Structure 1
Amino acid sequence: MRISRILVVLLVIAGVGWFIWQRQHPDAMAVSVGKVTRGTVEATVANTRAGTVKACRRAKLSPSLGGQISALPFPKGTEVQSGDVLLRLWNKDLEANLKSTEEGVKASAKQRDATCLQSAEASRAADRAARLRQSGSITSEELDKTNTAAKVAAANCKAAEAQTTVSEAQLKAAQAQLERTILTAPFPGVVADINGELNEYVTPSPPGIQTLPVIDLIEPGCFLVSAPIDEVDAPKIKPGLPALITLDAWRGRDFPGTVTRVGSYVIDLEKQARTVEVELAFNNPDDLKALLVGYSADVDIILETRADVLRIPTEALLESHYVYVVDTDGKLEKRRIETGLGNWTLTEVTAGLEEGQQIVTTPGAEGVKEGITVKAKENGDE
C-alpha cells in the first residue's frame, strides 16, 4: 500500500510539473511571415471587371437594304484595302434603272441644246424685227408677235435646262440606290468574319432588334484595351498615366501601357456597379504581334510612385493600421503602424517598423494573437 501511495504522489507531481512546463514552454505555432523591406511602392487603380483587347478600328458592316448575295470577293482572313468591294447584292434591276436614267440625262441634254438653239434663233429674229419696225417695213403687231415668240423660246430653253438638272438628280439617286447594294471597305483591314453565303438573302436589322453583321472588318496591328473602372476611382485617372496590362493568355507577364482616353459618362447597367470606360494603348510595338481581338485583360493604372521606402506585404495589415511583429523571443507583438501609399500587393510604412523585421502575413488565421510563441515560416516555404 505504501508503495502505491508513493507512486500516486509521484505521478501527481509529474503531472503538475508537466503542466507547469507546458505553460512556460508552449508549442510554437507555425505562421507565415514576411520581412519589412525597402523599395518602390505604387498607388494603383484596377478595373472592377475584366477588360477586353479591342482593335483600334473595327467595322461591323451590313447592307442598308435587303437582297440576295451575288458576290463575296474576299474570304475570311483576307487583307483588303480601303474601297475594296466586300459584298455585292443582286442588283441587275438597279443597274438597268441606272442605265435608263443615264440615257435620260443624255436625251435631256440634247433636248436642252435644241430648245436653246431655237431660243437663240428667235432672239435674233426679234432683233431684226425691231430694226425693220424702225424703217417702217413691218407693223407694230408683227413686232409684238416676234418679241413674244423670242420670249417663249427663251422660257422653253430655261425649262429644258431645269429638266436636265432634274434628270441629273435622278441619275444621282439611281447611283445611290445601286451603291446601297455594295459594301466597300472603309479602311484597310482583315476580313475577320462573314455571316452569309452566296445566294443567301440578307435583310437589315429591324428597329430594336440587333442582327449579326454580314462582314466584320478589323484593322490589323493596332490594339487597345478597354477596361471598366469604378466610378469612385474614375476622377483620379487622366490620359497619359502609365499602367501595367495583364492578359490571361500570358499569365505572369506584364505589358506596359498608357491611358489614352477616359470615358465622358458613367455606365449604368442593371445589377452591376457603375463604371467608367477607360482605354489604354500598348507602349511596346512588339507586344502587338501576337495579340488577338477579344482577349480578356486586367489593368493596374499607376497614380503615384515612391521609391526607396519601407514597405510590407499588404496582406500583413490588420485593421488597416496594425501588424503582428515577431520579436526576438519568437512571440507575437501587435503593433500600430503608420502607412502611406499602397496597392493590393505592397504598402508603404512611414512609422512603426524597421527594415528587416519579421511580420505575420496571415494575421487573420485561426489562433494568431498577441503573445503566442510562433515558428516563423517564410512565404513560399513548405
Structure 2
Amino acid sequence: MAGPTDQDKLSENWGLDAAGKSEEARAAEAAAEWAAMIEGVAGDGEDSGDRVLNQDEIDSLLGFDASVGSNVELTGVQALINSALVSYERLPMLEIVFDRLVRLTTTSLRNFTSDNVEVTLDSISSVRFGDYLNSIPLPAILSVIRAEEWENYGLLTVDSSLIYSMIDVLLGGRRVGGNIRVEGRPYTTIELALARRMIEVILDDTHRAFEPVTQVNFKLERMETNPRFAAISRPGNAAILIELRIEMDDRGGKIEILLPYATIEPIREQLLQMFMGEKFGRDPIWEGHLATEIYSADVEIEAVLHEQELPLSRVLNLKTGDMVMFERTPSDPVRLRCGDVELTEAIMGHIGNHVSVRVTRPLNPPKVTMAAFEELDDTVEGR
C-alpha cells in the first residue's frame, strides 16, 4: 500500500498539489478547463454548434439537385421517399421478345404504310400503374388489350404525334418538316379506324414475337382517350413499360406497351431464361421418350376374386378336398390389380375354355401427380 510520500509523487506526476489545494479548488479548476475546451471548439469555424447549413447542403441532405438528370440515383430523404418504387426485375427473354418485335413491326409497318418506317426500342422499365396513368401526355389513344391465354390485360398507348403522322402517310398527306401540331379536339371516326388498324398490326406482331416462348393471342378490347377509363390494375401494382419509337423520315411518334407483372406471371419462368430453350430441370424430349416407352411396356394384371383372412392353424390343417367358401356371387365384380395398385373393377366370365373379365368402370385416378415429382426435384436441388 502506498504511503504519504508515494501519494505526493503521484500527485506531482498528475500535476496536482495534494497538500496545497482542497477538493473544491480542484473541482473549480476542472470546470474551468472544460469551459475553455468548449469555447475552443465553438470558436472553430466549421465545427461550431450554432452553424447554419447553406442551401446546397440542405438540397444534398434532402436529395434535391436540379443540376443532375432524372436517371441519376437519388440520395438523402428523397431516396427514402422513393424507396417504395419498384425495381425492374431483369427478364432476359422479355428483352429478346421485344427486340424481335422491333424487327417484325418494322417490316409490318413498312408494308402497312408503303413508306420507310424505322422502329427502335427506347427502354424497358418498371413503373407503378397509377404513376404511369398520371404521366400519359394527352391527347392519346389508350388501347386495352387482352392476353387470352394469360387471362389478363395490358395497355398499348399511341401518342398523338404518331397518330397524326400515320394518318398523313395513309391518306397521302404532304411531308411537313418539324413537329406536327397536336390539336386538342377529339379524334374523328376515320382517325380512330386508321389507328385501330395500326394497333391490330402491332398486336399481331406481338403475338408472333412471343411465339418462340409461348402461345398467346392479344385481342383489342376497346380504345379509350381518357386514362381514367383504361384502369386495368390497381394504382400501386407494378408493371413493365416498353417504349417503342416509330420514325417515318421526318415524322413519327412513340408507342408504349404496359404489361402488369400479374399479366406475365404465367410465363415468368420462361422469361427468366438467358437464351431460347433453356431448361429448368425438366426435359420435354426425355418426357416424351419416357411416355412412349411406358405406353409400350408390358404389365401383369391380376383379377382378384375375393380376399379373406384365415387363422394360421386352419391353413396348416388344410387337406385335399377341403373347401374354402367365398362370400361372392357370380355377378359380383372382381378387382383388377397391377402389383399393389388397384386399377378398376370387372365382371368374371368365360370365352370358350378361357376365363375372361369385362371391365365395368373407368380406371381409378392416379394418387401420384406431377406435383410430387416437382417437390422431389426441389428437395434434391435444395441439397
Larger Rg: 1
Higher RCO by CA contacts (8 Å cutoff, separation 6 or greater):
1
TM-score for the superposition, normalised by structure 2:
0.21
* TM-score of the superposed pair, with normalisation by structure 1: 0.21
Higher share of residues assigned strand: 1
